[in-house]
Amino acid sequence: MKKITILALLAIVFAACQSNSNKDSDNQKLADTDKHLMDESKTLTLPYVAVMDSASTYIKIEENPQRSKIPLTKDELAEALNIKYPEINLAVNKVSNDTLYVDISDASFLTQQYGTTGATTYLAEATYAFTELPDITVVNFIFKEGDHAIPGPYTRKSFNKENI
């Protein structure tokens, strides 16, 4: 009788362990699937790209076909800019009302080496990216002025054909 009781108890414990093991395995599979989906849809790419019209030399802003399916945070957008433009190290400073303040501690590449079109392209892509964020309509760039770029507040309208 004792042997049957012990065997029955072991069978119950074994079944319980298997059940938890299967649940843990199923939960892990779901977590892996969710992570995979998240990794596929959230990429550190800018939501907009500046494209030069060779005929008019006007910069057009277009939606990036590789943009993330999940909106990026201000820090992720800054990281995406720093990945695309490693020579320009941008850091998010603060948000005040509808304005995001960003710092470029060493702007010499942006202001002296990148040229006017390159600097305008960078400022436009950064402005469009950050103004994708809810409640942000102005991006205030803080850096030392140079020949090709001027610090200060920029909006999407700053890059209209008439303003460039």
Mean pLDDT for 63-91 is 94
Strands (DSSP E) contained in 20-117 are: 48-53, 58-63, 90-96, 99-104
- In this prediction, residue 38 has a pLDDT band, given cuts at 50, 70 and 90, of very low
Q: Could you report the per-residue pLDDT of 88-121, keeping only the tens digit for each?
A: 999 999 999 999 999 999 999 999 998 899 999 9
Phi, psi of 55 (to 5 degrees): -70, -45
| The pLDDT value given to residue 20 | 47
| The pLDDT value given to residue 56 | 73
Mean pLDDT for 123-133 is 97
Distant-in-sequence contacts of 1-4, Cβ < 8 A, 24+ apart: none
| The pLDDT value given to residue 52 | 82
Q: What is the pTM of this model?
A: 0.72
Let me know how many helices (H) and strands (E) the chain has, helices first: 4, 6
Mean pLDDT for 46-59 is 84
- Rounded distance, CA 32 to CA 36, Å? 6
Q: Which residues contact 59 (CB under 8 A, 6 or more apart)?
A: 50, 51, 52, 53, 117, 120, 121, 124, 159, 164
| The pLDDT value given to residue 26 | 55
